[in-house]
Amino acid sequence: MKNQIKKYVLLSYLALIVSMYITGCSTEEVSEVPPNIIFIFTDDHASHAVSAYGSDIIQTPNIDRLANEGVIFHNAFVTNSICAPSRGVLLTGKHSHINGQLTNAQEFDGTQMTYPQVLQQSGYQTAMIGKWHLQSDPTGYDHWEILPGQGHYYNPEFITPEGTNHYEGYVTDIITDKVIDWIENNRESEQPFMVNYHHKAPHRNWKPAPEHLGMFDDIDIPEPETLFANWSGELDDGQDHEDFPPGEWAGRTSAVQTQEMTLMNHFDEAWDLKFPPDSVQDARHANLWSNRYERLTDEQREQWDAYYDAYYEEYKDKNLQGRDRLSWIYQRYIKDYLSTIVSVDNNLGRLLDYLEETGLAENTIVVYTSDQGFYLGDHGWYDKRWMYEESLHIPLVMRWPAGIEAGTQSRELVQNLDFAPTLIDLAGEPVPEDVQGRSLVPLMKDQTPDDWRSSIYYHYYEYPGEHAVPRHYGVRTDRYKLIHYYQVGEWELFDLEADRGEMQSVYDDPDYEEVKQELKEELDRLREKYNVPEEDPI
């Protein structure tokens, strides 16, 4: 049956190509031939670490190249800012409560409709290479090679249907090699291809490639405005302060006090700062440290020792306290994080060059995005999960010379919910009716439908869980954001125009009464539209 469908699709393409040849075709008509699709998904790459989005802390020339030669979406968001749920949404185009992947702890039900299955049935060759993180085996792929769980930066293993293979080298390079190899082996075929090119980077614990260790050492990376916003601990006077400085703290949910994701208090010296064994203070650290170290070759280990030990010495010598200590930790954190992105961007450059050289570039759509955003010291944090901008927002750029005009920009509210329908639409297939997202194809062509959404729905479920972020749901419009922390019975309302950093909720401000009521109605409408159950399914 599948082969018959493939044959039919191939014959249709051939007929289309022949008819274009006879009638003399324009570039627009060429784009009617379903494009090859390379879907690049990084893990935790915040858009404020992409220069196309105006980042002042890193240059990402190859991601920018996609943006300049294609489309950049300025308002792209997730529905649930955590890894496996985001992947469930990508595959299905449905919210977490519908696709069943509410948290990282569950196993994905791969028997439900996913877009790779639709593409495979429509005649695409499909592959999934890199981080998968959904526990069940991938479905809808002709080829898959996935990292076990979170995977490893150095000398990683890949699981395949035939068994597990081990490789020496750096994961971002290896994933790219595999993607290019797979395309190369298939490019003579008449079927279009779709590959999920899914990186581990820049996920915690941010291990740079050996050649990038120290690449930011000579500069001070600018600190985010809100680095000290959730300040707790020792202030410059050397005294412990349990409270927060007034003004910086007022008007936020009580849950920000109990989260566990501050650079100040929750960053792990062994795991995150890569301090050496003699700094290890308890068994958990020792365990983390040895697990990590065992993977390195002797040469890699020497490079690591030379690099990180010097920082440990500096840390001890300086004996930093209070804000100075936090500033120091921030520099260590952000430099490792950014270094892993340099590798992602370089490898993207390698892939783009390959597409040019092989003539594949014209009718291949390359999508670059991430499973969620991330805190880069914003609010004093690392990690994600909250509905605040830094982790809600994702980078989203696409290049497709045959189908997207260079320099296109979209400011519409889009979500990862829209990926599956977009990719199905690109393949020329009808989008199943129960899909909750919408195709972005008209937006790519700068033709926004009149009834495009004016608000988005968000829902995070992983509590209790790592980093202690409570469950919450909310609505965001182009200007406002209303969040309900339903476990603790609290609300927040932010006016993003007046308070981009979301430091002061105006939920109780009488001036915002009308806005608040409108947003509550909108929230109810969205919960009904998306069939959100009253009680959480878990």
**Interface with Ca ion by CB under 5 A: which residues?**
43-44, 83, 371
Rounded least distance, CB 499 to ligand SGN, Å = 26
Among 94, 203, 332, 399, binds ligand SGN (CB under 6 A): 203
The yes or no reply on residue 271 touching ligand SGN (CB under 6 A) is: yes
Residue with smaller CB distance to ligand SGN, 382 or 480: 382
Query: At its nearest, how many Å lie between Ca ion and the CB of residue 284?
Result: 22
Q: Which is nearer to Ca ion, 44 or 272 (CB)?
A: 44
Nearer to ligand SGN, 121 or 150 (CB): 150
Q: Is 176 in the site for ligand SGN (CB under 6 A)?
A: no
Does position 135 interact with ligand SGN (CB under 6 A)? The reply is: no
Site for ligand SGN in 450-509 (CB under 6 A): 466-467
Q: How far is the CB of 478 from Ca ion (least distance, A)?
A: 26
- 3-class DSSP assignment, residue 124: coil
The CA distance from 339 to 211, in Å, is: 10
What are residue 120's DSSP bridge partners?
A: none
Which residue lies nearer to ligand SGN by CB, 44 or 502?
44
**d(Cα 490, Cα 344) in Å, to the nearest integer?**
39
Helix (H, G, I), strand (E, B) or coil at 474: strand
Q: Is 390 in the site for ligand SGN (CB under 6 A)?
A: no
- Residue with smaller CB distance to ligand SGN, 82 or 341: 82
Q: Which H or E element spans position 397?
A: strand 396-399
Q: Which of these, 491, 474, 477, lies nearest to 532 by C-alpha position?
A: 474
Pairwise CA distance, residues 390 & 399, whole Å:
24
The two tokens of residue 451 are: 């009834």
Structure tokens at 224: 């985010």
Site string for ligand SGN, 48-87 (x = CB under 6 A): ----------------------------------xx----
Q: Examine residue 43 and tell whether it contacts ligand SGN (CB under 6 A).
A: yes
Residues 397 and 409: their CA atoms lie apart, in Å, by 9
- In the bound state, the residue with its beta carbon closest to Ca ion is 83
Q: Could you give the 3-state DSSP secondary structure of residue 109?
A: coil
Give helix then strand counts, H and E, for the chain.
15, 18
Q: How many CA atoms lie within 13 A of 243 on its CB side?
A: 4
Which region, judged by CB under 6 A, interacts with ligand SGN, from 57-65, 154-162, 197-205, 308-316? 197-205
d(CA 3, CA 326): 59
Residue 129 contacts residue 193 (beta carbons within 8 Å): no
Can you tell me which of 31, 33, 44, 401 binds ligand SGN, judged by CB under 6 A? Answer: 44
Task: Give me the residues that bind ligand SGN (CB under 6 A), please.
Answer: 43-44, 82-83, 104, 133, 150, 203-205, 271, 383, 466-467
